[in-house]
Each structure stands twice: as C-alpha cells, then as structure tokens.
Amino acid sequence: MEKVFKALASEPRRRMLNHLLGGPMTVSEIGAKFDMALPSISKHLAVLKEADLVHAEKAGKSVIYHLKLSVLEEALLGFVHSFGLGAEAPEPKKEAAR
C-alpha cells in the first residue's frame, strides 16, 4: 500500500490516472495532455506501474497503459480500515486486476 500512496502523492501522476479513467492510452497520448517531456511522462508511468496502478501492454512500437482500478479501490479501502473507519464493512479482498 505504501507504493500506491507514494505514487498518488504526485499531482501529475494523479492527473495521468484521471486521464486513464477514460480508457487505455499510449505514452504519446498521455504526453499530449501535459507540458513535460516524454521521458518525464515515462518516469511517472513507471512509478504508477511499480505501484501496480497501471498495466502496460506492448502493441507494436507503442505501449498502451490501462488503469487497474481494483488496485486503487483496494488501497483506498485499506487506508480507510487503517483508521478504524468503516469497521462494519468487510476487509478488502485480494482479486484479479480489472
């Protein structure tokens, strides 16, 4: 869960996740929405991938990124439970990524 929150601490990475809510995107498509160089975009995406928040799929010369919403949901539920909130709700369960 620590890697997830480290990844979410960055405003550009949160914006990238928000863009991916609309569906899978290539690095170039994501980069077009930011005023930063593609290597910087790639570094941010690597952090999101390391946190298991996105899945990268090779498609020819492109890499397509998909949001793994289930991982984000699980992290947020774990965060809520760590404060004793939602005690009546079931503990988050491990499941395959969407």
Domain ranges of the chain: 2-82
Nearest to 7 by CA among 57, 35, 45: 45
Nearest to 16 by CA among 2, 3, 73, 38: 38
Residues 27-48 have pLDDT tens digits of 999 999 999 999 999 999 999 9
In whole numbers, what is the pLDDT of the chain averaged over residues? 86
Nearest 5°: CA angle at 17, between 11 and 18?
A: 90
CATH topology of domain 2-82: Arc Repressor Mutant, subunit A (1.10.10)
In single-letter form, the type of residue at position 81 comes to H
Residue 27 neighbours by CB under 8 Å, 6+ apart = 38, 41, 42, 45, 62, 63, 65
Residue 86 reports pLDDT greater than 80: no
pTM value is 0.77
Residues 48-83 have pLDDT tens digits of 999 999 999 999 999 999 999 888 788 778 777 777
